Homo-oligomer: A and B are copies of this chain.
Amino acid sequence: MLYFNNDYSEGCHEKILEALVKTNYVQTPGYGEDDFCARAAEKIRAACGREDLGVHFLVGGTQANFTVIAAALRPYQGVLCAASAHINGHETGAVEGTGHKCLALPAHEGKITGKQVRDAVLAHRNDPSFEHMVQPAMVYISQSTELGTLYSRRELEELSGVCRELGLYLFLDGARLGYALAAQSNDLTLSDIARLCDVFYIGGTKVGALFGEAVVIGNPAINRDFRYMIKHQGGMLAKGRLLGLQFDVLMEDGLYLKIAKHADRLADRLRDALEALGVPFLVPGVTNQLFPILPDTVLAALGEKYVFCEQERVDESHRAVRFCTSWATREEAVDELCADLRLLLKQ
């Protein structure tokens, strides 16, 4: 079987493996206080163009999300997000487990707008029962989104402006940030993101690492005692060096972007093939996730050779599915998939 169901089906980029092998017997302090972590953090600060950023390495995305949110909010506060946001639907209530409500807004192609945020916050503030309602205090977005779409620089600036005007934190979940930055239509840099958000993370798990997310904190109020928060939430890795080492490799010589670009270009190739075949999409994906709408019969045939994800039923005979490429996807696999699609769809 060929796996296109997600971007975490393989191990890690070979340079990471090499570094692991090479440094295996180096003795270091534990809990992220080693030189690998320090070096990786420096590279991330440099890439963001800011010396004052807090950088912390966490094992996974759910952990990063709830640790950041619990660090930022007071008990009665909640986080505005798209109804389709990962924290709202696919983390088994981990954020609520820290006591905070996800305040879901209707999403368009996985995204929410500054206007929606402003309206929600003002509706709350103008409600005579405002103290009986969860106080929105943070906005959570994903880049790229759960539907493979992107916030443009203008959209992010609008969100950031509204958040600063109204006193909310802006948090960007970058589990797939590499694939966002490498997209052809992207117009945002790491510096932009560091400037416009209070906190974000650079996802490693889905972009070449064995595991790991680099949380980057520009707002000192969130960074305060953040290592206590990590430990309290169960995310302090004894051999923290493993996280530092991986980001040290990924941030060297633009490797992170390079491997993300590989995935995006292969997704572009697949999208072009599907479009040429007249296949419609659930959303116009521009990164490494595509959501074509295909006939059940075609999907049944494809399912014998390819692994992909069910997204949703569209009509009686069609479903939207998800195809992912990744840093590890082989060109030949994509070409084979394109060829098979052509065969099946021309029948």
Contact = CB atoms under 8 A, between A and B. Distances in A.
A74 B69 CA distance: 12
A316 interface: no
A134 B232 CA distance: 8
Closest 6 pairs (CB-CB, A-B): A11-B24, A76-B228, A92-B231, A76-B232, A63-B234, A93-B134
A192 to B, nearest CB: 27
Given A10-B27, A78-B93, 13 more contacts: A8-B30, A10-B26, A11-B24, A12-B24, A17-B21, A31-B132, A62-B231, A71-B74, A76-B228, A91-B231, A91-B232, A94-B233, A234-B235
Contacts of A12: 24
Total identical chains: 4
A232 B92 contact: yes
Interface of A: 1-3, 6, 8-12, 14, 17, 20-21, 23-31, 59-63, 66-67, 70-71, 74-76, 78, 89-94, 96-102, 128-129, 131-135, 205-206, 210-211, 225, 227-229, 231-239, 241-242, 307, 309-310, 328
B233 A234 contact: yes
A219 to B, nearest CB: 15
Nearest to A236: B62
Contacts of A59: 59, 237
Contacts of A242: 11, 210-211
